Amino acid sequence: MAKNMMSDVELKREAGQVGYREALAVMDERNRAIAQGEAPELVWLLEHPPVYTAGTSAAAGELLDPRFEVVEAGRGGRYTYHGPGQRIGYVLLDLTRRGRDVRRFVHSLEGWVIDTLADFGVECWRAEGRIGIWTRDIDGSETKIGAIGVRVRRWVTMHGFSVNLSPDLTHFTGIVPCGIAEYGVTSLARLGIDLAPEAWDEALLARAGEFLAALDTSCGESK
């Protein structure tokens, strides 16, 4: 049943890199088309060339070393890095069909990523007051392995999540990631897990139906 729930959602998986500005343009147009009933909902998995993206709450002092292009993303949140070795999931869903509850959407999105990481033996969690997906680093400290950032326009979601498979972690030092200076950033590779993007995608999409089911069946519930 959960798999059947994905039958009306388009799944796109990019093998090559997609420029960040190009992705923004695609999301803008797809948002309009979904809202007008001209295109199906979309889950889009991809990778970007190195870029720093600024959310609507980004503070200038948190851009420490703009060694890469800096793009205003239009999503919520602060500065985030995207680049090779990091898998991005853009999730464009019509919330008019799914309860019009943005908080529930974000909670369900986080759960989708957390459950998929658990499939590879990585225990992750939400942290109150700190956006993102958190785990234990190799030294036992709490650290971030995934980011969440969304925008809702016309009741259609945009942006989504990123998960660090094997990025160059030094690239994160050009910003204060998500405005949180006291915690570090890790990756599956740093944790000793060598995972190809294709394997991550397969595991994530195997749980996509569960993600939609949780989103839809929790209508009216407080999460």
Domain boundaries along the sequence of the chain: 3-214
Choosing from 23, 178, 208, 215, which is the catalytic residue? Answer: 178
178 counts as catalytic: yes
CA distances from 88 to 17, 83, 97, 159 (A): 11, 9, 24, 9
Which residue has better confidence, 41 or 75? 41
Tell the CATH topology of 3-214. Answer: BirA Bifunctional Protein; domain 2 (3.30.930)
Report, as an integer, the average pLDDT of 157-175: 97
Q: Taking Cα atoms as reference points, which of 194, 192, 172, 168 lies closest to residue 183?
A: 172
Q: Left if phi > 0, otherwise alpha if psi is -120 to 50, otherwise beta: which for 134?
A: beta
| Residue range 181-205, pLDDT digits in tens | 889 999 999 999 999 999 999 999 9
Q: How high is the pLDDT of residue 2?
A: 45
Q: How high is the pLDDT of residue 216?
A: 80
Contacting residues for 90 by C-beta, under 8 A, at least 6 apart: 23, 27, 42, 43, 44, 45, 46, 158, 159, 160
- Three-state DSSP at 189 gives coil
DSSP code of residue 145? E
Report, as an integer, the average pLDDT of 35-60: 96
- Three-state DSSP at 174 gives helix
Report, as an integer, the average pLDDT of 165-186: 92
